[in-house]
Amino acid sequence: MTNSTKKPVSVKKNSKRRHSRSIVSRKNLTIPISVFGNVMKQFDAAAKKLKMDSSIMDFIKMPRRSTIVNLPVRMDDGSFKMFKAYRVQHSIARGPAKGGLRYHPDVTLDEVQALASWMTWKCAVVNIPFGGGKGGVVCDPNKLSEGELERLTRRYVADMIELFGPDDDIPAPDVGTGPKVMAWFMDTYAMRENRSVPGVVTGKPISLGGSLGRVEATGRGVMLCTREAAKHLKIDLSQATAAVQGFGNVGSIGAKLLHDLGVTFTHVSDVHGAIHNPKGINIDDLIKYLHAKKSIIGFPGTKTVRPDAVLFAKVDILIPAALENVITEKNADKVRARIVAEGANGPTTPEADKILAKNNIFVIPDILCNAGGVTVSYFEWVQNRIGYFWPEDEVNRRLEEKMVAAFQDVLEVSKKNRATMRIAGFMVAIMRVVDVVEQRGIYS
């Protein structure tokens, strides 16, 4: 398929994310914050609490396999262009590797390793039988035609096809990809296998075996965790205020569902800027405005404010749902929310975590808070395997059961060990992975 018109595939709203914000400055040096290094610090803090065999800890903390390939792709003008691509499998102890595939110009091995690691702990926290994986291609999908994106996707699958399979490694959409990319992925794999294999990816179009409720799942998980945290802290959601940083899929859906529960959103930001209304922003109307204008700026009844005003707003609930490393040791003291519900992966650095804990801010960690997406991806995989599909209300009911149970598991460990919810979440996840490893043994 060749398309000479530069018409990009629809991508997630936060695809303009730039890592240039994830830096620290020390003695006139600008040093990028290692996202994978942050994961290792989070892991080590929990492992220290658990006092487990250090050799087992060393075995489960590092990625089992990191694959790097250079993909030659024919462009619409007939030339070839090389694209660097990654797939990291962090763990397959509890089941096949599971994790998204992102297309973004700032993709790095460090980032992909971090995201694969988080997926291992995320799947273990919500107790689904997957390990962790992640993939990425260094590209700007907004500058590629649909034909170029299709050829890039198919080449990615072809060059690493031995990694993938419904019992091996199961990709899903991420930044810069979506259901159409998953359809191309599934078709390429099926052509190589000479059979239909819908379970090789999740996040597919509904007509190709996707699950109802998958698009809303991550945002719904954020809502469910926030609701449970509010119950624990005795916060009345009908009287609560909130701010959301990032109004893409996760931020907008999480905000809408909390708005439906009575939460008043006073601050919202997207890639174009931030808006504020002390009396509240109608989230349903804002979503419609965003779809029409492609930006939240100028929404009636609001004024434009500095983007960091969202992070530092005096509200009950803050939802960072956009970038990694946005709450750091440099600004954590300015956060005034009672609950920080991490819709994004890695929005808070380990140094910032200590400051938030000292200030009695209740953080719902990313490996719990945004695990709704992978949970419904698991449901999609199960439905593909059995050949029977559930109605959306059943998907949502099953998701609620999983998320509430996971929240309570982490909260119990947190209270028992006097640990933050993040350390408790890692403790729960590590114990579940170690249990499987010890039962299976280590082949050598």
CA distances to 6, 28, 304, 347, 400 from 372, in Å? 34, 41, 31, 17, 9
In DSSP terms, which residues pair with 135 in a beta bridge? 87, 101
Q: Is 92 helix (H, G, I), strand (E, B) or coil?
A: coil
Tokens of 84: 């660097």
| Tokens 């960072």, residue located | 320
The answer to whether 298 and 321 have CB atoms below 8 angstroms apart is no
The answer to whether 165 touches 441, Cβ cutoff 8 Å, is no
290, 293, 296, 297: CA torsion to nearest 10: -170
The tokens describing 112, both together, are 């992909």
Catalytic, out of 12, 16, 61, 134: 134
**How far apart, in whole angstroms, are the C-alpha atoms of residue 255 and residue 202?**
24
- Sequential DSSP letters for 352-413: HHHHHHHTT-EEE-HHHHTTHHHHHHHHHHHHHHHT----HHHHHHHHHHHHHHHHHHHHHH
Per the CB < 8 A criterion, the answer to whether 11 and 141 are in contact is: yes
Cα 91 to chain centroid, rounded: 17
Indicate if 134 belongs to the active site. Answer: yes
413/52 Cα distance (integer angstroms): 16
Nearest CA among 254, 299, 346 for reference residue 19: 346
Positions marked active-site: 134
